[in-house]
Amino acid sequence: MNESGTTPTAAGAAQAYAAAVAGGRLDPEALAVADRVREVLRGSSPLGVAYSGGVDSAALLALAVLELGSDQVVAVLGVSPSLATDERIAAHDVAAVIGARVVEVHTREGENPAYQRNALDRCFHCKDELFTRISEEVVAAHGLRSVAYGENADDAARPDRPGSQAATNHEVLRPLAQAGATKAQVRAIARAFDLPCADKPAAPCLASRIPHHQSVTPQKLRQVEQVEAGLRQLGFTDSRVRHHDNVARIELLETELARSVQPELRRELHALATAAGFQFAAVDLRGIQSGAFSLTLIGARHD
């Protein structure tokens, strides 16, 4: 368990939020949702927030710090090969804006055969490992009364979120979902706090790029991370690199598909893939498909 050495200062984010509320820049529905989240959080301090740096956990963390105080909240970041290095750095940057302490816990889901098998319940084993590490390493060390995570109301309605069961098993709070916060409202709240991740695209863990029932290995995760990092350097704003053995299937925003087939960029994409150990690079004409693997297997739409 590693704790950030920075001293929390919540003034910047809190002042931005107060100014947004006073200036009417947070619409009334989003403001009402934020107030309900704060009400849910009351009495839960000291609180640990399972934190990834994404907009959901960051907005929850910001509201927790605003309501409970920075000395009563700890952001818990799970670190493993499934977390991209860029995402780890960005998570610390966002927490610094919020003024929250960050504690890193190193999770070992990759050693669990059930996780390695990569069935539809993979996310359950990942979240179960994270919440177990928090219970065993962080709760007592920081005297936590409660632990919360950033499931929103839209997530709660989806059929492909087995990690939710792990939260239930560990009695982890879900204040955003409880308050009825939609993804759009969460982003509005994050903008009110002036968080850098407010409009950041979703960034699922690297293991989500591997088709179900194909094993998750550190090597595959490194290959995916390497190609996605290269795509960002080429100016693509969002991507998924699906690992199909010797084929890197690249999903891009629909607005960026045409750019990807320009002759020079085609060569760059192929070079990225082969440098990471793939033999072929393919650009998927459907663009980015959230939950493509799991939703297909359970027969749900993912258009």
Does some domain include residue 228? yes
Contact 91, 179 (CB under 8 A): no
Q: 159 and 15: one domain? A: yes
Interval 167-202: pLDDT, tens:
999 999 999 999 999 999 999 999 999 999 999 888
pLDDT of residue 156: 86
Dump pLDDT digits (tens) for 202-256.
888 999 999 999 999 999 999 999 999 999 999 999 999 999 999 999 999 999 9
When divided into structural domains, the chain yields a total of 2
Residue 218 belongs to what domain range?
206-297
- pLDDT number for residue 298: 44
Query: Are 133 and 20 in a shared domain?
Result: yes
* 233 in any annotated domain: yes
CATH number, domain of 237, equals 3.30.70
* Burial (Cβ within 10 Å: 0-12, 13-18, ≥19) of residue 284: middle
38 and 170, same domain (yes or no): yes
CATH of the domain at 102: 3.40.50.620
Residues 188 and 211 in one domain: no
Where residue 4 falls among pLDDT bands split at 50, 70, 90?
low
Q: Which of 192, 218, 246 is the last residue of a domain?
A: 192
Give a yes or no: residue 8 inside a domain: yes
Asked if residue 302 belongs to a domain, the reply is: no
The residue from 170, 192, 214 where one domain ends is 192
User: Does 198 reside within a domain?
Assistant: no
What's the average model confidence in pLDDT over 58-87?
A: 96
Place of tokens 């591997």: 210
pLDDT digits (tens, 9 = 90+) for 243-279: 999 999 999 999 999 999 999 999 999 999 999 999 9
- Give yes or no: residues 165 and 242 share one domain: no
Strand order in the sheet with 280-283: 239-244, 247-252, 280-283
pLDDT of amino acid 164: 85
Question: Are 88 and 105 a contacting pair, CB within 8 Å?
Answer: no
Q: Is residue 127 part of a domain?
A: yes
Give the chain as a 3 state SS string. Answer: CEECCCCCCCHHHHHHHHHHHHCCCCCHHHHHHHHHHHHHHCCCCCEEEEECCCHHHHHHHHHHHHHHCHHHEEEEEEECCCCCHHHHHHHHHHHHHHCCEEEEEECCHHHCHHHHHCCCCHHHHHHHHHHHHHHHHHCCCCCCCEEEECCCHHHHCCCCCCHHHHHHHCCCECHHHHCCCCHHHHHHHHHHCCCCCCCCCCCCCHHHHCCCCCCCCHHHHHHHHHHHHHHHHCCCCCEEEEEECCEEEEEECHHHHHHHCCHHHHHHHHHHHHHCCCCEEEECCCCCCCCHHHHHHCCCCCC
Considering the domain architecture, whether residues 219 and 117 belong to the same structural domain is answered as no
Q: Are residues 60 and 185 in the same domain?
A: yes
Q: Is residue 290 part of a domain?
A: yes
Query: 132 and 70 in one domain?
Result: yes
Higher pLDDT, 289 or 98: 98
Tell me, yes or no, whether 143 and 214 share the same domain.
no
What is the value of pTM for the model shown? Answer: 0.88
Q: Is residue 200 part of a domain?
A: no
**Is there a single domain that holds both residue 168 and residue 226?**
no
- Does residue 210 share a domain with residue 180? no
Whether residue 86 is found in the same domain as residue 221: no
Domain boundary among 169, 192, 215: 192
Position 212 scores a pLDDT of 93
> What pLDDT does residue 91 have?
96
| Confidence category of residue 303, pLDDT binned at 50, 70, 90 | very low
pLDDT for residue 140: 94
pLDDT at 7 over 70: no
